[in-house]
Chains A and B, each alone.
Chain A
Amino acid sequence: MSFSKKKKYVKYQLSYKQKQKLFKIAQQNNTNPDKIVNQIEEFLDSFSEYDKNDLWEKLLSFLHLKMLEDKTKQRSDDIIETKKKINQEKKFLIEYEDDYLTIVELNRALESLNKV
């Protein structure tokens, strides 16, 4: 704890499930659990002075909004990527179809010769 000495703090112990979640986040973000705890503490600390009735409710809505915006952006990127893949696959399909016709024709020619 390196926070303001004037302030008082309440100790909150993470539940087993929350701890699991913490480890998972650390892994996903390539960091360690202690750092994440520190970052959350700093976050809580930076907003503690602005206590208003609806601040936290608003804050959580805001976080949700940011997440949705992020996901929407990610989806748009995914769409562009998928479109690219579809076009590539279409190209393959046309090539394979061309090949198929040639191979079938050759097959027929060879088979008829085989009967001679």
Chain B
Amino acid sequence: MSEKRKFNIWIPDSTAESIPDLVDLVEQLLYYFPYIFKVDLEELKKKDNLEKELEEVNKEFNQISQIYGKLRQEYGVIHFEANELYTRNTLTGLKLGMLMKKLEKAKSIWGPKLSLDYDSAKEIIKHYSDRYLLKREEEI
């Protein structure tokens, strides 16, 4: 990016004469740059109450922005809740894993005296730890 380079805009004489503040004009044209391609002189000529139209569109924009703001807020709350629940599930899942290990140990000591269905318990734990721990990896 050439910091020293100068940029000039050649403004038609007649335009320069009729405009009191060229700095402001250039500033505005830069600001509205993407929209200059949408200007059609014929359409512009037909617009005789631009102020009123601007007022209406502005009102509509404000209304829609308000709705958008509320929705973003709603999203923020629900996203936070879901996230919190997700973290809680992950932690509880980890705790389950540790409990399962203890039970494995207990089983080796007490064996048949424990009437737990190990296989299905293990399956359930695996399901949840996969669901939460793998998901977490995906997210990272």
Chains A and B bind each other: yes
| A 66-93 to B, binary, CB cutoff 8 A, 1 in contact else 0 | 1111111001101100110110011011
Q: Which of A23, A61, A92 contacts B54 (CB 8 A)?
A: A61
Question: Which B residues from 8 to 51 make CB contacts under 8 A with A?
Answer: 8-16, 18-19, 22-23, 25-39, 41, 44, 47, 50-51
Asked if A10 contacts B16 (CB within 8 A), the reply is: yes
Q: How many Å lie between the Cα of A69 and that of B39 in the bound state?
A: 13
Q: Which of A1, A49, A75, A82 contacts B61 (CB 8 A)?
A: A75
Q: Which of B54, B89, B102 contacts A99 (CB 8 A)?
A: B89
Q: How many Å lie between the Cα of A70 and that of B85 in the bound state?
A: 38
Asked if A114 contacts B106 (CB within 8 A), the reply is: yes
Residues of A within 8 A of B50 (CB): 58, 61-62, 65
B51 to chain A, nearest CB (A): 7
Size category, B interface:
35 or more
Q: How many Å lie between the Cα of A72 and that of B57 in the bound state?
A: 8
Residues of B within 8 A of A15 (CB): 23
B134 within 8 A of A: no
Q: How many Å lie between the Cα of A5 and that of B99 in the bound state?
A: 88
Residues of B within 8 A of A51 (CB): 14-15, 18
Q: How many Å lie between the Cα of A116 and that of B123 in the bound state?
A: 22
Asked if B8 contacts A12 (CB within 8 A), the reply is: yes
Asked if B8 contacts A70 (CB within 8 A), the reply is: no
Residues of A within 8 A of B6 (CB): 13-14
Asked if B10 contacts A62 (CB within 8 A), the reply is: no
Interface residues of A (CB under 8 A from B): 1, 3, 7-15, 18-19, 21-23, 25, 29, 33, 36-37, 39-41, 43-51, 53, 55-56, 58-72, 75-76, 78-79, 82-83, 85-86, 89-90, 92-93, 96-97, 99-100, 102-104, 106-107, 110-111, 113-114, 116
Interface residues of B (CB under 8 A from A): 1, 6-16, 18-19, 22-23, 25-39, 41, 44, 47, 50-51, 53-54, 57-58, 60-61, 64-65, 67-68, 71-72, 74-75, 78-79, 81-82, 85-86, 88-89, 92-93, 95-96, 99-100, 102-103, 106, 110, 114, 116, 121, 124-125, 128, 131
User: Could you list some 7 contacts between A and B, CB below 8 A?
Assistant: A14-B7, A36-B33, A39-B37, A44-B12, A56-B15, A93-B85, A103-B89
